[in-house]
Chains A and B, each alone.
Chain A
Amino acid sequence: MSFTATKFPPSPLPLTSRSNDKPLSFSFHHSKPNHSSSFLGSTRRLTPLATPHARRTPSPSPPSAVLLQQASNLLVTKEEGLELYEDMILGRFFEDKCAEMYYRGKMFGFVHLYNGQEAVSTGFIRLLKKEDSVVSTYRDHVHALSKGVPAREVMSELFGKATGCCRGQGGSMHMFSKEHNLLGGFAFIGEGIPVATGAAFTSKYRREVLNESDCDHVTLAFFGDGTCNNGQFFECLNMAALWKLPIVFVVENNLWAIGMSHLRATSDPQIWKKGPAFGMPGVHVDGMDVLKVREVAKEAIQRARRGEGPTLVECETYRFRGHSLADPDELRDPVEKEHYSGRDPITALKKYLFENSLANEQELKSIEKKIDEILEDAVEFADKSPLPHRSQLLENVFADPKGFGIGPDGRYRCEDPKFTEGTAHV
């Protein structure tokens, strides 16, 4: 299937339904190596009345960030560019380190790596304030890192140590951080979307009922293409649009749900179209290009902050590794993989920074070195951290441990200091 820009007429996004598109062809392999005409992202603004400006310029070389043709402003300043680069490198190196540790037997279970999708996480989350919330799926390591959870804590959580961000009780798929407002980490797909809707509801409630008029916290919900066929997705799109909740639904469409191609699972594969069906803008963006993602993210987040309601952003991206470290990844066509690895977001950003003289090789190398050190420290910290003690077993089952009830002796079970170790009688 080819997502050519010709399918998206350059007009402001109407909130009403559109006439039928041409059915997309099912053969991915026909896409040509010249990608200047494809994946040019959204040519429409989020505010329907603004006129779109042409964003495309025929680029002579394979995909890279597109320069704006209007004012000579670049999309990012040097500091911002380096910050984005550092964040993406952190994500990429961390995930590679995870794979290394997994094969060394330091972590177990299901580990889902984010290689290739860093542009989405960095593009969106680096725009948030600390009070804004992020809800993710099982592919959440990099979302946690982008949101600000220290690499040490994430690594020790993966090792199952007591110093992990969830005390070792969550694991790879359940990263939480109250301090950084990372609301998880969910194993079942679609499960986090209602939670994100609830966090956005709290933000609106604070503003309107508790009269905290400066509360403009935004929630981002990340999920994949497979989730977009799930009932919770649609139910929450409805509720968020109905009550104009400050939430952005970010679809990381990496075209595959384990071994199920998006095209084989979805009647209308263009996910962004499902937004207008519920009364919110639906935007499609090239998720391999962090600057494009960032531009779209800025508008979507600002829209939510202003109280105008939710947005559905479909980021077309790709995961370079399998679904998880246990996935042999035999179904995906090597041609497809090669195509996308040629569009590595980190390479693309690097190219942009060089071409616009925002950074030189040395600065980027020093960033990479810094990240290497951070990760080494993280692994060492995780290695040295203690495993959880048995007394931790039942400690966090209840926020109020009176919930364990009254024992035969008349005292609350939690009054017994050893009860958290668990007994047969609990």
Chain B
Amino acid sequence: MATLCQGLGVVIPLSSSNSSNFRLPSRRSISAWKDGIFVVRSDARVSQVLKTGGPNHELLIPNAVATKGGSSVASTSKPGHELLLFEALREGLEEEMERDPCVCVMGEDVGHYGGSYKVTKGLATKFGDLRVLDTPIAENSFTGMGIGAAMTGLRPVVEGMNMGFLLLAFNQISNNCGMLHYTSGGQFKIPIVIRGPGGVGRQLGAEHSQRLESYFQSIPGIQMVACSTPYNAKGLMKAAIRSENPVILFEHVLLYNLKERIPDEEYVLSLEEAEMVRPGEHVTILTYSRMRYHVMQAAKTLVNKGYDPEVIDIRSLKPFDLYTIGNSVKKTHRVLIVEECMRTGGIGASLTAAITENFHDYLDAPIVCLSSQDVPTPYAGTLEEWTVVQPAQIVTAVEQLCQ
């Protein structure tokens, strides 16, 4: 069973109503999975989309088939519309820009180029070059410019072409974005959204594979959220834009081509809440962003082995939703954190501390935290695979935890 799982594509239980309808695909179809990459539709049906060669990576390759709308699915019978994650982000952004003329976008190549991950494609034609502003390559300054614009009444969305580039903007994000509301005594609010793709990609090299959530988490005054599905990407984008606080929205390079059916109606998610992905009884697995999919893949194995993991996508990296997490801990008494951050000082480290502080009495075992290795992401595919937590490690960790 374990070897079969290794060759599988990503399996995600996606449901537009955020419910927990996770159905395992039947045994018969598992054997067909060795060859391809798969998408689980919102009704938990699994279908093969693309055959790929190459190393056995578990996730969708960035140029997976992008069929929008009901080409292969009878859309009349299902509510909502189907789209990819980057399209969901764009939809959320576009809706907010239509709703409020003060919402504007700034970043490198967001305008005429349409965004390097196509999140802002078509927006410059629709809204003009000033509302979707192509900036020169000066992250510190255009982030600061976004902050100045936010202070004087606009609602900018600043895109970092890669989250790692925002290291150059750290001065502005820490000193101004986080602090100015406070040091001005509450006079100026900074309703800015800073977003961009981060995380370990497919052999992108060390500097393009950074996880900045751990660096930003100490900055007081900002909120951080990480999206993982088209549904929550759109919802979080809209919530972040509408929020009066500065929000950093972490996207992941490898998740942009996830496909899901999302509602036609407008919806906005809460920035502070976590998402229950799969309820269970034996162990609480806390995760976010790409690791959600590794966890769900491991969950399949675990279920087959007889375990019942509860999977929560924490979504809100700062502040933590201690209510959802706490209820889960009180039920299962065992916690496993799976994250893509580095081991040292990462989100998992903070989460471990927060859970220990608040729910120590409910734990039957020490919290286990699986993080990436403390190493600059190597280029070589094999090495890169070993820096990040893999489903097999998750399975082992749960087994050990539940002894």
Taking CB atoms, residues of chain B closer than 8 Å to A209 are 101, 104, 128, 130-131
For chain B, which range describes its interface: under 10, 10 to 19, 20 to 34, or 35 or more residues? 35 or more
> CB of A13 within 8 A of chain B?
no
Complex contact B221–A408 (CB within 8 A): no
Chain B residues whose CB sits within 8 angstroms of the CB of A204 once the complex forms: 130
A185 contacts chain B at the CB level, 8 A cutoff = yes
Contact (Cβ within 8 A) A397 B182: yes
CB distance from A154 to the nearest CB of B (A): 13
- Specify which chain A residues have a CB less than 8 angstroms from the CB of B150 in the assembled complex: 198
Partner of B130, one of A168, A185, A208, A405: A208
User: Complex Cα distance A395/B273, Å?
Assistant: 22
Q: Across the interface, which residues of A come within 8 angstroms of B186, CB to CB?
A: 167, 395-396, 399
Beta-carbon contact of A397 and B187 below 8 Å: no
Tell me, in angstroms, the Cα distance from A199 to B154 when the chains sit together: 9
Residue A334, interface by CB 8 Å: no
Assess whether A406 is interfacial by the CB under 8 Å rule.
yes
B141–A194 CB distance below 8 A:
yes
> Known: A166-B187, A191-B175. Contact between A196 and B148, CB under 8 A?
yes
CB proximity of A403 to chain B, nearest CB, Å: 5
In angstroms, Cα B150 to Cα A183, docked, is: 11
Which of chain B's residues have a CB closer than 8 A to the CB of A236? 141, 144-145
Given the interface pairs A169-B182, A198-B152, A398-B221, the reply to whether A232 lies near B273 with Cβ below 8 Å is no
A9 contacts across to B, CB distance below 8 A: none
Determine which residue in A167, A235, A404 has the highest number of CB atoms from chain B within 10 A of its CB, and name it: A235
Is A387's CB within 8 Å of the partner chain B? no
| Chain B, Cβ-Cβ closest to A175 | B184
Query: Does A170 contact B147, Cβ atoms closer than 8 Å?
Result: no
Q: Residues 120-158 of chain A: 1 if any B CB is under 8 Å from the residue's CB, otherwise 0?
A: 000000000000010100000000000000000000000
B133-161, CB under 8 A of A: which get 1 and which 0? Answer: 00110101111111111111110000000
Does A231 touch B at the CB level, under 8 Å? yes
Please report the C-alpha to C-alpha distance between residue A253 and residue B142 in the assembled complex, in whole angstroms: 25
Q: Does A188 lie at the interface of the complex (its beta carbon under 8 Å from any beta carbon of B)?
A: yes
Whole-angstrom CA separation of A407 from B357 in the bound complex: 12
Bound complex: CA A52 to CA B180 (Å): 43
Cβ contacts under 8 Å, B131 to chain A = 205, 209
| CB <8 Å contact, B172 and A406 | no
What is the bound-complex CA distance between A193 and B320, given in angstroms?
34
Check if B183 is an interface residue, CB within 8 A of chain A. Answer: yes
Residues of A242-256 at the interface with B, using a CB-CB cut-off of 8 Å, are: 242
A195 touching B183, Cβ below 8 Å: no
Contact (Cβ within 8 A) B154 A176 = no
Separation in Å of the A223 CB from the closest CB of chain B? 13
Interface residue A402 (Cβ < 8 Å from any Cβ of B): yes
Question: Is B202 engaged at the interface, CB distance under 8 Å to the other chain?
Answer: no
Residue of A nearest to B223 (CB): A403
B151 touches A198 (CB 8 A): yes
**B145 and A239 within 8 A (CB):** yes
Q: A166, B148: Cβ atoms under 8 Å?
A: no
Establish whether residues A178 and B188, one from each chain, have CB atoms under 8 Å apart when the complex forms: yes
Which has the most chain B C-beta neighbours within 10 Å: A133, A194, A208?
A: A194
**Is A202 in the interface zone, CB < 8 Å from B?**
yes
Interface assignment of A112: CB less than 8 Å from any CB of chain B: no
Tell me if B184 and A202 are in contact (CB < 8 A): no
Is B181 in contact with chain A by the CB < 8 A criterion?
yes
Q: How far is the CA of A231 from the CA of B140 in the complex (A)?
A: 9
Residue in A closest to B152 when the chains form the complex, CB atoms: A202
Evaluate whether A198 and B359 lie within 8 angstroms (CB atoms) in the complex, with A169-B183, A209-B131 already known. no
Check if B185 sits within 8 Å of A167, measured CB to CB: yes
Q: Closest approach, in angstroms, between the C-beta of B98 and any C-beta of chain A?
A: 13
For the complex of A and B, 10 pairs with smallest distance between CB atoms: A198-B148, A194-B144, A405-B319, A176-B184, A167-B185, A166-B185, A195-B148, A235-B141, A235-B138, A399-B189
What are 25 sample pairs from A and B whose C-beta atoms fall under 8 A apart?
A170-B183, A183-B188, A184-B180, A184-B183, A191-B144, A200-B148, A201-B154, A202-B153, A209-B104, A231-B138, A236-B145, A239-B136, A397-B182, A398-B244, A399-B189, A399-B190, A400-B243, A403-B243, A403-B245, A403-B271, A404-B319, A405-B272, A406-B272, A406-B319, A406-B322
